[in-house]
Structure 1
Amino acid sequence: MLRALFIFIVVALLSALAIWLADNPGDLTMHWRGYEIRTSFVVGVGVMALAAFLVLLVYRIVSGFVDTPASVAAFLEKRRQQKGFLALSRGMVAVAAGDAPEAKRYAAQAHKLLDAPPLTLLLAAQAAQLEGDEKSATGYFERMLEAPETAFLGLRGLFIQARRAGDREEALAHARRAFELRPQTPWAAQAVFEIEAAEEDWDAALATLDREVSAKVISRDKARRRRAVLLTAKAMTAAEAAHGQAGEARKAALEKAVALALDAVALEASFAPTVALAARLCGETGRARKAARLIEAAWDVEPHPDLADVWLDMIDGESGYDRAVRARSLAGRNPEHIESRILVARGAIGARDWAAAREALAAYAGPDATEMPTQRICELMAEIEEGAFGDRGAARGWLARALHAPQDPQWTGENYRSPRWSPIDPMTGAFDALVWTAPAIALAREEPRPDAFGQEPERPIEKAEAPAAPVVSLPERAAPKEPLAFQPPLPDDPGPEDADEAQEGERKW
């Protein structure tokens, strides 16, 4: 509608102009070199318009001839780029599909058609990696280092190549250079930190951690945890070095280790390895009260066997009774935890208070037990049975039961378990990767409880497992004082005791 209205207005204006010119014809006279040219005004305007049109036409024709080669070149260049980007796209698809020959062919086409080194060199490197040609892939990545805009990409590729080859030194060099170029890049910072930590270069790892915090590539909570672990590892190294020295040198080295351990505790006050190390070093340097406060604070949050070991051995020359009293005082801060019960039992065993030791483990090994005993509890019960009554048969029964009892928690990583903590996973080299936990499979397997006659119920035979070994049961009249899951003697079992050594009411093997 608007377009029709616009055309109508234009036609109306032209018509009005034509009518006005017809009503006012006028004359147009031109003198040039003695000639006089006369015509009407309308004809003169028409001739000038025609002349202007012809001049414009000639200009366009001439400029067209002049610009034709450039236009043809631009057309060919555009077509070449289209083919190049098509080859690049197909090459990336081939890389994603794992088709090495196609990826290599399209990489060559893209490199020939496109002036885009970052993309074509990267595609060529990936194609070489798919073919297993590590040398060519490394060469492509090294060529990327020649241009500033592709240097970081090349360092990333060289780092991956070195890591695959197991060359930690070369990988660290490339990661450090990438970290210098772009400190805000998480992968470069993480790579430098992990390799330095895996090489146990704690000072360099701490410096890298400070740079990560400054570049804001790591959260402060995570950085706090990492710093605590690094300081703990550094304190462990310093303590080992101090124990190899003597005199004033040993004292100075221990003081350095204590300072590092206390700095770590200030960051992670409930991390058991850190607290145990700091408490042990404080005890060695005559700060028993400080050590006790550290362990008590950590025990309130999460009891741990390492804390219990340091607590029991904190005071040299202490009597077994005093040690048991201290064990009960620490256990009272978290009485329902299994480690508190084990601590009380250990202290009581050291004081030869067998009744108190048995009572501490009653929830796991008594007649009214409600929890499954772990391997450590079975071993403690064996010690209690032999220490209290000299009942070696009952002790061996508990030791046999320990073979099938749920395992106690340990520091667990990938294909690795150990009761001793380490800042580095020995199997993978990962930093702070060990977790204090028990095997899920072992915890899921319950040990069958004996019946009132001392017999162990039959085990269902699963398809994937071999049948269980035959179970030796006790007659009713010879039932032991405490129900036990007796198993056949182990290969190294010395066999039955002499008849004159057997006590009344006991069952000897």
Structure 2
Amino acid sequence: MLRAARFIVIAVILLGIAWWISTLPGSVTAHSGSYTVTASTPVALLILAVIALLLTIMFRVIGGIRRAPGGLSAWQGGRRKNLGEIAINRGLTALAAGDAKGAEAEAGRARKLLGETPLVLLLTAEAARLNGKHDQADAAFKKLTTHKDMAFLGHRGLGHHAAATGDHDAARKHALAAEDAYPGSSWARAERLAAALKQQDWRSALGLTQAPAEVAAIATAAANSTQDRSNALRYAKQAVKADPSLVPATVAYARSLSLAGKARAAKKALLNGWTATPHPMIAAAYLENIPDPIERVQAASQLAAAKPGHPESEILLAETSLAAKLTGEARRHAQAATAAGLTDKRPYAVLTALGDAPVDAPAPKWTCQSCHAEHTGWHATCPNCGKAGSLVWKSASTALVPA
């Protein structure tokens, strides 16, 4: 209704103007050389309006022709951009699907359409890595590091390859650069920790983790490896504080105290460790400087008294009694160990030495909680998967006990 009313009003106004023009008196005469044109005022105004309209149309056409190349270029650029984005999307999908050839083809198509933009470089690098073309992947990742917003991804890709090829110095360098590019990155910190552990740079590794099990294991390794007695004691204290149940930490702490001339404190540390977690490593450290078999039995009795009746206390007494040729005591404690639940090979080895039939029983082992690999000795990091603080002691009578 309003539109109709508006149309009627406009039509009335236009008709009014046309009627007013048609009633204008007079005429207009134009001279050009020998030509003379005379027209009434309304007709002259109409001619001027037509000329103005034609000029407007002409200028618009000329402007459109002049803008046509730029418009065509913009249209072509937009089309190339759309096709390039489609190629990137398809390439990322191919990567996720594990289609190495498809990803490489789409990466090449995207590069032709868009050039070496950050996303194209990332797609190119990942596609090359999936195809096993590591030199090409590294080249693309290296170019990616020059883009401020994508430098983290570039260093991460280079760091992955360096770690995979065993170049731990390069892996560490790229992890540090990645952390600079994206502060607070958990991946960069984890990679730096992994590189430090591979290089057995325990001091640096301690600054890269706060997990108690990892701190305890790494500090224990640091205490065992340093030649500085004060540093060894400091690291050992840090290990015991992080995880008081960590047996190697207890042993390292006691050894550091002993080297510092604090024999009584060292003995007390081992007794406390045995009370908390009886373990053959503690027993070995406690008896380390006692060569006489009878004296070893006496010392073993003192240690076992801190945890009487425990399977480890019984097997310790059985083994030291056997070494001292106290066969009756050896048999009694070996049988007490099995009665207390110890069914690994140690009590049966004592009984076999005393004339009993051999028993096929498993040996106690260190087991990685991360990859479940088994090892005969303790390590700060699992030799199989490299995880720090993951080794636990497993005997046939116990659940997994922290190393």
TM-score, normalised with respect to structure 2: 0.76
The counterpart of 1:329, out of the listed 279, 301, 305, is 305
Amino acid at match of 1:9: L
Change (3 A) 1:346 1:47: farther
Q: Quote how far apart the aligned CAs of 1:438 are.
A: 4.9
The counterpart of 2:295, out of the listed 289, 309, 319, is 319
Q: Is the 8 A contact 1:198 1:430 kept in 2?
A: no
Q: Distance in 2 between matches of 1:150 and 1:371?
A: 58
Q: Is the 8 A contact 2:26 2:41 kept in 1?
A: no
The corresponding residue for 2:311 is 338
Counterpart check, 1:376 vs 2:364: no
The counterpart of 1:432, out of the listed 389, 393, 397, is 389
Change (3 A) 1:321 1:372: closer
The corresponding residue for 1:480 is none
Percentage of matched positions with identical amino acids: 28
Q: Distance in 2 between matches of 1:359 and 1:31?
A: 143
Change (3 A) 1:152 1:19: closer
Q: Quote how far apart the aligned CAs of 1:67 are.
A: 3.6
The counterpart of 1:235, out of the listed 223, 226, 248, is 223
Structure 1 residue runs of 5 or longer lacking an equivalent are: 1-7, 210-217, 242-252, 386-392, 444-509
Kindly report the root-mean-square deviation, in angstroms, between the aligned alpha carbons of the 2 structures.
4.3
Q: Aligned ranges for residues 4-43 of structure 1 at < 5 Å?
A: 8-12=1-5
Q: Quote how far apart the aligned CAs of 1:10 are.
A: 3.7
Matched residue SS, 1:157: helix
The corresponding residue for 2:82 is 82
Counterpart check, 1:137 vs 2:112: no
Q: Is the 8 A contact 1:411 1:420 kept in 2?
A: no
Q: Quote how far apart the aligned CAs of 1:279 are.
A: 1.6
Change (3 A) 1:87 1:296: same
Change (3 A) 1:13 1:163: closer
Q: Is the 8 A contact 2:141 2:154 kept in 1?
A: yes
Change (3 A) 1:430 1:19: closer
The corresponding residue for 1:507 is none
Q: Is the 8 A contact 2:27 2:41 kept in 1?
A: no
Paired positions, count: 384
Counterpart check, 1:310 vs 2:303: no
Q: Deviations over 1:149-171 (max 9, x none)?
A: 44332222222222333333333
The corresponding residue for 1:405 is 361
Of structures 1 and 2, the one with the larger relative CO (CA 8 A, separation 6+) is 2
Q: Aligned ranges for residues 215-234 of structure 1 at < 5 Å?
A: 220=210, 222=211, 224-234=212-222
Q: Aligned ranges for residues 241-280 of structure 1 at < 5 Å?
A: 241=227, 253-280=228-255
Q: Quote how far apart the aligned CAs of 1:113 are.
A: 0.5
Matched residue SS, 1:183: coil
Q: Quote how far apart the aligned CAs of 1:285 are.
A: 3.9
Q: Is the 8 A contact 2:342 2:396 kept in 1?
A: no
Change (3 A) 1:282 1:354: farther
Q: Is the 8 A contact 1:27 1:38 kept in 2?
A: no
Q: Quote how far apart the aligned CAs of 1:199 are.
A: 1.1
Q: Distance in 1 between matches of 2:25 and 2:153?
A: 77
Q: Deviations over 1:70-105 (max 9, x none)?
A: 332222112112222222333334444444444333
Q: Is the 8 A contact 1:331 1:343 kept in 2?
A: no
Q: Distance in 2 between matches of 1:174 and 1:375?
A: 48
Q: Is the 8 A contact 1:228 1:268 kept in 2?
A: yes
Q: Quote how far apart the aligned CAs of 1:111 are.
A: 0.5
Q: Distance in 2 between matches of 1:22 and 1:198?
A: 94
Change (3 A) 1:18 1:294: same
Amino acid at match of 1:338: P
Q: Distance in 2 between matches of 1:347 and 1:439?
A: 21
Amino acid at match of 1:111: R
Q: Quote how far apart the aligned CAs of 1:373 are.
A: 2.7
Q: Distance in 2 between matches of 1:419 and 1:288?
A: 29
Q: Deviations over 1:390-424 (max 9, x none)?
A: xxx43xx2xx32xx113223355869644431213
Change (3 A) 1:195 1:49: same
Q: Is the 8 A contact 1:295 1:311 kept in 2?
A: yes
Q: Quote how far apart the aligned CAs of 1:432 are.
A: 3.1
Q: Is the 8 A contact 2:366 2:391 kept in 1?
A: no
Structure 2 residue runs of 5 or longer lacking an equivalent are: 30-39
Q: Is the 8 A contact 1:324 1:348 kept in 2?
A: no
Q: Distance in 1 between matches of 2:321 and 2:229?
A: 32
Q: Quote how far apart the aligned CAs of 1:188 are.
A: 2.0
Q: Aligned ranges for residues 148-227 of structure 1 at < 5 Å?
A: 148-207=148-207, 209=208, 220=210, 222=211, 224-227=212-215
Matched residue SS, 2:278: coil
The corresponding residue for 1:299 is 274
Q: Distance in 2 between matches of 1:186 and 1:32?
A: 91
